[in-house]
Amino acid sequence: MVQVAASLDTLLDGIRAAADPSRLRLLSICSQGEWTVSELVQIIGQSQPRISRHLKILAEAGLLDRFREGAWVFYRRAQAGDGARLARSLCRLLPGDDAVMRLDQCRLEAVREGRRRQAQRFFDERAGAWDSEGELAVDASVVESALRELFAAERVASLLDIGTGTGRILQVLAGQVGFGLGIDLSHDMLAVARANLDQREARNCQVRHGDMYQLPVPDGSFGAVTLHQVLHFADDPSAALAEAARVLAPGGRLVVVDLAPHGLERLRETGGHRRLGFGDEELRRWFQQSGLVAEPPRHLTGPELTVVIWTARRPAAEIDEPTPIARRNAA
């Protein structure tokens, strides 16, 4: 009886919180992506204090998730718990032909278009350097096809993409995972990623600000983790892999896409590369140190650079003894 009462109280709190036209409109908008208060002000057409009050009520009732990224705060429909289930049910009941909600949708599309223009300006400023580097390796579509094949063979419930950048890997794999989360340290990149995910309508994917050496997620919380062309920028690649391994669930798979050893020193200056590629044995050793079991790598040869897909598993039956990396960090 106690559990039922608690559940009924939660349900009633959520219904009371949503029982307002403006809050139902906000709930509908926040089911379509992640939005700042200023963006929601543009869409709803009400003052910032009033919108903030509505959002506070919805978040406290568990209908919205709220998270801070630098100076900005984002809101989206709750993803887990009783509040999330109620929020989904309420959104399904909202009328699609309501004149006010149609106007909201038009304004939402205008905000999305502004995001896309901002993302395009960001790309235009950097396109030259990225294009020249891309011409050296195998075409990106080949790598993406290989990743799709890898994930098609075994659908995972949750994917963490570390160093997500423009969110490309989330876009590629959105249809093959239950939920995707991208982590990146660059606020500019996160803005681009959000615009790209909006355009792709990848509603099962989100991005968050975070450091690959201190991931803001619990131990063993993801069925798969990807690092796509990230490791060669890392100051401490083995530590980055150890942190990625930490968040893998038992039986989960770590996928690293990066460059094989090469001699193009100019990439240190033009592309900011710290490492000129990695060897298979080096990755196998790091996987082992992080408590993972390496699988056979796949090499994709380009004009001057070879891209390698390294994969490793966390054993389904975990061993209590700490890994060498964990022992070293503890010391």
Domain boundaries, the chain: 2-109, 136-330
* pTM for the structure as a whole: 0.71
Averages of pLDDT over each 10 residues, the chain, 331 residues: 56 90 94 89 94 95 84 83 90 90 92 75 56 69 94 92 94 95 90 88 91 94 96 85 96 96 82 84 93 97 93 78 38 35
Tell me if residue 188 falls in helix, strand or coil. helix
CA–CA gap between residue 97 and residue 143 (Å, rounded):
43
Residue 160: which of 182, 185, 144, 184 has the closest Cα? 182
Contact 292, 314 (CB under 8 A): yes
CATH homologous superfamily of domain 136-330?
Vaccinia Virus protein VP39 (3.40.50.150)
- Which fold is adopted by the domain 2-109? Arc Repressor Mutant, subunit A (1.10.10)
